[in-house]
Structure 1
Amino acid sequence: MSDLLSSVRAATSGMASQAARLRHVSENIANTDTPGYRRKIVAFEQVLEHGRATGRVEPGPVRLDPGALPRIYDPTHPMADETGHYDGSNVDLVIEIADAREAQRSYEANLKMFEQARDMGRSLLELLRR
């Protein structure tokens, strides 16, 4: 039964981590046209207990994409400097959509794992009742 519980914990940690990733992807998409906005990147870290791997993950610290911000020429923009340029956003919608799909698929895989562990636990309890 403890193996079932550990698999449920692993699946729920995966779903929570992918939900956090999807939240940051959504923020990136929402700020595509925000001048000076840097893309947020979230990485996952393995959860350790007593120095041993648990199979669970959690979102690590959010990092900002160190890529260069594009210089946009628009002398009428309020943030333009004396040359008529301002810093744009380094968010690429194609990358964000791909990241969103990957996070969605990973979330669905963890959900499937959770449902299977739940069904196995239910079947085990039914066997024990007989």
Structure 2
Amino acid sequence: MSDLGSALSITSSGLRAQAARLRHVSENIANADTPGYQRKTVRFEADTGARDGSVMVGPVQLDRSEGTKVFDPSHPMADATGNYFSSNVDMIIEIADAREAQRSYEANLKMFDQTRQMSSSLMELLRK
């Protein structure tokens, strides 16, 4: 594979990985008020099938920290003492993760565009 093809492959894998990360962050934000919901996180791993440095999303992991204990005896999930656990989603962390994923996505997109422009310029030079 050419160097430009490798660059396109690497940046497109980064775009897919950051899109998956944003999808899980949005799920976490959407379920922040769901009692008992556990925050989802993803990890990036090297794509061993591709030898060009591509990344892929690893398995989804659940954050095992407990949510805050809420006293509400009328809640359907309340135990005998009237307590239940809310979700363990912290909106500040989710917003920071979303911003980081967005900026990483934009950086990959710029690299993809730069590679495409270099490829177009190379084709123009070869035509002359």
TM-score bin, normalised by smaller chain: over 0.9
More strand by share: 1
Q: How many residues are treated as equivalent by the alignment? A: 128
Q: Which runs of 5+ in 1 are unaligned?
A: none
User: Deviation of residue 48 (structure 1)?
Assistant: 2.0
Alpha-carbon displacement from aligned partner over 1:82-111 (angstroms, at most 9, x marks no partner):
211011100000000000000000000000
CA distance in 2, matches of 1:94, 1:43: 19
One-letter amino acid of the structure 2 residue matched with residue 20 of structure 1: A
Structure 1: which 4+ aligned runs deviate by more than 6 Å? none
Percent identity of the aligned residues?
A: 63
One-letter amino acid of the structure 2 residue matched with residue 6 of structure 1: S
CA distance in 2, matches of 1:54, 1:87: 45
Q: Which runs of 5+ in 2 are unaligned?
A: none
CA distance in 2, matches of 1:54, 1:85: 52
Q: State the SS of the aligned residue for 1:72.
A: strand
Alpha-carbon displacement from aligned partner over 1:39-70 (angstroms, at most 9, x marks no partner):
000000011248xx521101000000011222
One-letter amino acid of the structure 1 residue matched with residue 24 of structure 2: H
User: Deviation of residue 79 (structure 1)?
Assistant: 1.4
CA distance in 2, matches of 1:66, 1:78: 22
**Are 1:119 and 2:117 matched, yes or no?**
yes
CA distance in 1, matches of 2:23, 2:104: 14
Q: TM-score, normalised by structure 2?
A: 0.96
Contact in 1 for aligned 2:66/2:85 (Cα 8 Å)? no
Alignment of 1:100-119 (within 5 A): 100-119=98-117
Alignment of 1:1-130 (within 5 A): 2-49=2-49, 53-130=51-128
One-letter amino acid of the structure 2 residue matched with residue 121 of structure 1: S
RMSD: 1.3
